Structure 1
């Protein structure tokens, strides 16, 4: 088992270097709402 894991770790054919992948130009991503949540006022008791 250890030999198998060390073989995977030493595999030079797997490339982890280079520029990161980029999104397409028309991709706008997930909208991020960084505002704090608004407190909803509780209705007055009847």
Structure 2
């Protein structure tokens, strides 16, 4: 009998752990920018690494 109870408790904890890690099936609203976001550019490529513009010859 104690084995059955301990096996059931282990299975319940494993099931809770799996469901806690699962992602939600749907989102209620589209993701939004945080209120303090001021349009900071995310491309940090220096201008020297960009491809040069085509020069007419």
Q: Same fold (TM over 0.5)?
A: no
Q: Which has the larger radius of gyration?
A: 2
| TM-score with structure 1 setting the length | 0.28
Name the one with the larger helix percent: 2
